[in-house]
């Protein structure tokens, strides 16, 4: 399977090629440049509680490892990402309470980048607390809608993300993703 993400001006932003293994828990994603050359490769192993992924540079060198745990509803509750090139580890712990999601993000390299994030139940507000303890409130998010086109098999072939600006009422296309699926008969 391939996935391409385009910028609003029509230029290619991201090109990925997915390869699925005989073991349904394992798959590989090749991140390609505009000419189709492999820039990075991500190998993913999924299991009931989460997933593990390893990112390789085109040279084959490991540059990132990530372990993600999920709750019974499939929501991320913990993610640990290790940047093996810079020797940095980033941890995120998430709690879901009363319609709010609270995440605490820490970095092994920079204490000032430690954040405490709180997202409201409507997904439109986000506040965070920096490492000094100072609270910040981010402006309400613009509402986003995903419009999908499907093929005869019912699988999506195009996703378009449209953002609605509450201040102006305007709708703007933020991203468009095309997916090509090849079906094989037995």
Tens digit of each residue's pLDDT (9 = 90 or more) over 19-46: 988 888 899 999 998 888 999 999 999 9
* CA-only gyration radius of the chain, Å: 19
Summarised one tens digit per residue, pLDDT across range 67-87 is 999 888 788 889 999 998 888
Q: What is the pTM of this model?
A: 0.58
For residue 145, give every residue at least 6 positions away whose Cβ sits within 8 Å of its Cβ, in sequence order, or none.
161, 162, 163, 164
For domain 1-85, give the fold. Lipocalin (2.40.128)
Between CA 116 and CA 91 the distance in angstroms is: 12
**Where along the chain do its domains lie?**
1-85, 88-140, 142-186
Q: Are 67 and 79 in contact (CB under 8 A)?
A: yes
Supply 164's token pair.
């609605």
DSSP at 22: S
């Amino acid at each position: 399977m391939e996935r391409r993400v385009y910028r609003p001006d029509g230029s290619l932003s991201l090109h990925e090629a997915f390869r699925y293994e005989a073991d349904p828990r394992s798959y590989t994603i090749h991140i390609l440049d505009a000419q189709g050359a492999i820039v990075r490769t991500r190998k993913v192993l999924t299991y009931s509680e989460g997933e593990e992924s390893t990112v390789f540079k085109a040279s084959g060198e490991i540059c990132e490892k990530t372990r993600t745990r999920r709750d019974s509803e499939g929501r991320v509750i913990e993610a640990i990402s290790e940047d093996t090139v810079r020797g940095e580890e980033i941890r995120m712990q998430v709690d879901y309470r009363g319609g709010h999601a609270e995440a605490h993000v820490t970095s092994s390299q920079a204490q000032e980048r430690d954040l405490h994030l709180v997202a409201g139940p409507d997904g439109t507000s986000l506040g965070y607390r920096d490492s000094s303890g100072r609270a910040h409130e981010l402006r309400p998010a613009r509402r986003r809608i995903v419009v999908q086109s499907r093929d005869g098999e019912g699988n999506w072939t195009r996703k378009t993300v449209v953002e609605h600006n509450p201040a102006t009422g305007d709708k703007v296309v933020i991203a468009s993703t095309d997916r090509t699926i090849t079906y094989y008969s037995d």
